Amino acid sequence: MPEPRETAVYTHGHHESVLRSHTWRTAANSAAYLLPSLKPHMKILDIGCGPGTITADLAELVPDGQVTGVDRVPGILEQARATAAGRGLAHVGFAVADVHALDYPDDTFCVVHAHQVLQHVGDPVRALREMKRVVRPGGLIAVRDADYAAMTWYPASEGLDAWLDLYRRVARANGGEPDAGRRLTAWAREAGLTDITASSGTWTFATPQERAWWSGLWADRTLASAYADRALEGGHADEAHLRGVAEAWREWGTREDGWFSVLHGEILCRKEA
C-alpha cells in the first residue's frame, strides 16, 4: 500500500504578506481554548508550526516538557528555529513532516496541536487519525481552523464579496476546504475520536491600526503571494480582477467604521485511555 502523502497545494505560500499574519499569532490569540489544559511537564507536537511563534509560546508554558514543531516547508523552519533561539528556549525542536504520515511512534505526545492546518490538507480525516495515533492515551488533540464563509465585515463591500468568492474557489481548486471550522467535529468523529469538546473563537479587527494591518496584508497577498499566482494560473481571476480586490481591501481599511471578524472552529479531543 503506498505511503500516504499530502495531495493539496498550500494556498497562501510564505510571501512576506503571509508571514506578516503568521508571526502575529500567539498562543493567547490563537490557542486560548487549549491553554487551561497544559501542564509544565507535557510533551507537545505543534503541526504546521510555520515561523514558530505559537510553538515558542507553548514551550514557555511547559518549561519541564518538550515541544516539537513540524512543517512541510523546510525553509520556514529556519525562521521557527530563530524564534525559539531568540527566546532562549532549549526544549524546542523542529522537523519537516507531513501530517498524513507523521514520523513518530504511537503514543508519543501528551498534546498534538494544529492551528490553521486542516483547511489546507488533502485528507483532514486521515490527518486527524495520525494525530490520534501519535498522542498518548488520555492525551489531547487540539485543532483550530478558520471558516471563510462565516467571516463577516462592515460596511458592505462588493469588492470584499469578490475576494471571499475568489479565495474559496482558489482554495478548493488547490485541494483544501476553506470552510473547515464548521467541519472539525464531523471530521474528528469520522477519524474515530469520541471525547470531543467543540468551541469557537474569533479574531476581530476594528481599530485604525488593526484595519490598516489586516487590509494591507490581504491587499498585498492578493497581488504578490502564491495565492495570487494560483488564482491567475488556475484561471480564477485576471490581473485586473486581482487589482480590484486589492483596492477594495485598501478602501475598506480606511473606513472609520470598518469592522472585520474571523470565526474559527475549535476542537479539543481526548484520546481514550
Give, for all 273 residues of the chain, the pLDDT tens digit: 345 555 666 666 565 755 677 889 999 999 999 999 999 999 999 999 999 999 999 999 999 999 999 999 899 999 999 999 999 999 999 999 999 999 999 999 999 999 999 999 999 999 999 999 999 999 999 999 999 999 999 999 999 999 999 999 999 999 999 999 999 999 999 999 999 999 999 999 999 999 999 999 999 999 988 889 999 999 999 999 999 999 999 999 999 999 999 999 999 999 998
Q: Which amino acid is at 212?
A: A
Give the strand pairing for 66-71 and 43-47: parallel
CA gap 119, 130 in Å, rounded: 16
Question: Could you tell me the end-to-end alpha-carbon distance of the chain, in angstroms, rounded to an integer?
Answer: 29
CA gap 232, 156 in Å, rounded: 26
Give pTM, 2 decimals.
0.94
Strand partners of residue 69: 46, 94
Cα 273 to chain centroid distance, Å, stands at 28
Q: Report pLDDT for 90.
A: 96
Closest CA to 48 of 8, 3, 107, 4: 8
Q: Report pLDDT for 14.
A: 62
The 3-state secondary structure of 189-205 reads HHCCCCEEEEEEEEEEE
